[in-house]
Amino acid sequence: MAFNIYYNLLIKTTSRVVFDAVTLPEHLNNWWTLKSSGVPKLNSEYNLNFTDTYNWFGKVSKVKNNESFHLKMTDSDKDWNPTTFGFDLKTNSSGTLVKFSHVNWLKDNHHYRRSSFCWAMLLNDLKNYLEKGIIIPFEKRN
C-alpha cells in the first residue's frame, strides 16, 4: 500500500508564473530550497539543497510547459526516495488552480505526516510569494 499527499490551491496569477515558480531555481529558492539547480526538461536532474545534510536530487518525470511538472526523487531521505511530487496547473477565470501531489510513500510514519504538514505550509508560502511578493528567508521557514 502506498500513501499519498494531495492539495489543491488557487493562486491568483497565470499558469506561466506558477510554472516558473515551481521549476526555476531562482524562484524555488525564494519559497522552498536554500539553493537549487535544474531545468524543466524531461529526465533532467534537479538538485534540491536545504543544508549539507539534506542535499537531495530528483529527476523530471513529467513536464509540460505551463501545465505540469513532476520530480521523481533519486537521492534523498530514505522515506522520500521512492516518492514523486508534482504540480498540475489549470487556468481558470480567477487565476491558476494548482493540483499538488506527493505520491508513493511506503509508510504512514512521522516523516510522511510531517512532510504533509510542511507541504501545506510551503504551498501557502508559494501562494504568498506569487500573489504578494513575500519571500521568507530560508532560515525562518518551518
Domains assigned to the chain: 3-140 (3.30.530.20)
Q: CA angle, corner 101, sides to 25 and 43, nearest 5?
A: 50
- Residue 137 phi/psi, 5-degree rounding, is -55, 145
Please give the model's pTM, rounded to 2 decimal places: 0.96
- Helices 110-132 and 15-23, interaxial angle, to 10°? 130
Q: Which amino acid is at 101?
A: S
pLDDT (tens, 9 = 90+) of the chain, 142 residues, equals 899 999 999 999 999 999 999 999 999 999 999 999 999 999 999 999 999 999 999 999 999 999 999 999 999 999 999 999 999 999 999 999 999 999 999 999 999 999 999 999 999 999 999 999 999 999 998 6
